[in-house]
Structure 1
Amino acid sequence: MRAAVVLGLIFSALGWWLLHQPVRPAPALIAGLASEGYAGAPCPARSLYEQDARKKRGPRADSAFAMRLREEFPLGSPSAALRDALSRQGFELFSPCANDENALGARWRGKNWGEPDAYVYWRIDPDEKLIFLDGHVTRAE
């Protein structure tokens, strides 16, 4: 009985602590955007099953975040501007595709429950100009 009470107090304190963590502001690129769900990286299909599933799903509409990105960083512009802006706003670079080293990515993950997560994907040409740019926000503010 004592163990149950102690565990209850511990879990209550942990829950209170998690709910009362300060929420850091979202980067300007994602401020005000609603959750658009997980869209996935622009990676080649890893299997025939995944390829068939993508065909059945069909093309998806551009997300509000993707449109905002392309407005600020038009295709054909230097990728360095995108990379610098993402870095300044706290995005971390990562490799989104294990089966495609040409896809580049950056992510901003919220530290607390109420903060959004955002992912940006791009590809560049030999002159390091943007030829593809996409992104999504996975949780609402």
Structure 2
Amino acid sequence: MSAISSLVPARFLTITAHLVIVITIFWSRENNVKACLPLDFTPEQYDTEDKKLVVALAVTLGLFVIELAGFFSGVSMFNSTQGLLSTGVHASAAVALLFFLFEQWQCDSYWWILAVCSVLPACVEILLFIAVFGLKKKPL
């Protein structure tokens, strides 16, 4: 099995693992929201932090749609550069988000994980979409 063809299942599995962890955080976000607040917080503070975390999780899910659309359409499925980048950042995101979930990190750390591990591969995916469909170029 060549290196490129072994990246396809690895990429799919790491994207799926990242997606499952994000959905798990979405369902059980109460403890993470409380970790972002002082010990004596008001309901308004809780609602504000909860909304911030929900927005971050919703943005992550939207970026998953972009990346999975490119993957399943074949635009980037066999692109080794995108496959390696995506596999690396989604595996890193899965590990970091497990720490976020179990160690109850501050909510601000989620935004850093989102920026590096979800925005970066989605932007590359968008560039590949533009190259393939807009410029009618063959993917690298």
Alignment TM class, shorter chain as reference: under 0.3
Taking structure 1 as the reference length, the TM-score comes to 0.25
Between structures 1 and 2, the one with greater helix share: 2
Taking structure 2 as the reference length, the TM-score comes to 0.25
* Higher RCO (CA < 8 A, seq sep 6+): 2
| Structure number with bigger Rg | 1
